[in-house]
Amino acid sequence: MEIDKAFWGIVGVIVGFVLTMIKDWWKQKATLQKDRYYLSILTVSKLDDFFGSSCAIVSDKGRYVQRGHELEAYLEPQSEIPIFELNSIDVDWRCLPQNLMFELLTFSSKVEQANRMIEGVSEYQATPPDFDEFFQERRYQYATLGLKAADLAAELRKLSKLPKHEYGAELWDPIADMLKEKNEIEAIREQYRVIQQESAKPFVVNRAEANL
């Protein structure tokens, strides 16, 4: 009899412990889902805004503006570079999967790096009055960034079960347009690289012959 009491007493303790563990786990899960949902709404909003600005840059062919004493026409961008930062969002980033958290928190540095690339091309490569190299680099960098922003937003939407983004036009697919622009620029650059490589071959051969 005493053994039965002791046995059921132990069972009661174990059951109570398990129920407490389940309760704590369920509470933590509910808190995690709530934190993720709140974080996703705020972050997706910023990513969508950035994506919209990137679309404007990718489609920006510039406009001619007269400058200088002779009023020469120079091509200038019509769209502004967007500012992207997540530090102002008061959320717990640890509620996200590690890979997604890393991609989101390092995205700002990718934007800064892209802007430095654009500035470098503008300063050292682009030539007036059309500044073709500058506009191409600008479109390429923001096509790349825009596609990344769209991917991150899609991951957050899937994770937190948010509705898909609607672009408001059945015949317009901005992601497809961005990808097309990016691929076309990469094809142009690859073609240019091959031409440069081929044109350098005779020089290398002649130089080798001269050393004989």
What confidence tens digit (pLDDT) does each residue in 99-149 have?
Answer: 999 999 999 999 999 999 999 999 999 999 899 999 999 999 999 999 999
Where residue 62 falls (left for φ over 0; alpha for ψ -120 to 50; beta otherwise) is left
The amino acid present at 107, given as its one-letter code, is F
* pLDDT band, very low/low/confident/very high, at 172 (cuts 50, 70, 90): confident
Euclidean distance between CA atoms 149 and 186, whole angstroms: 20
Quote the number of domains for the chain: 1
Confidence of residue 34 (pLDDT cuts 50, 70, 90): confident
CA Rg value for the chain:
28
Question: Looking at residue 94, what DSSP letter applies?
Answer: G
Domain that holds residue 13: 2-210
Percent of the chain whose predicted confidence (pLDDT) is above 90: 57
Distances (CA, A) of 136 to 12, 35, 147, 186: 72, 40, 16, 10
Share of the chain above pLDDT 70, in %: 75
Q: What is the DSSP letter of 70?
A: T
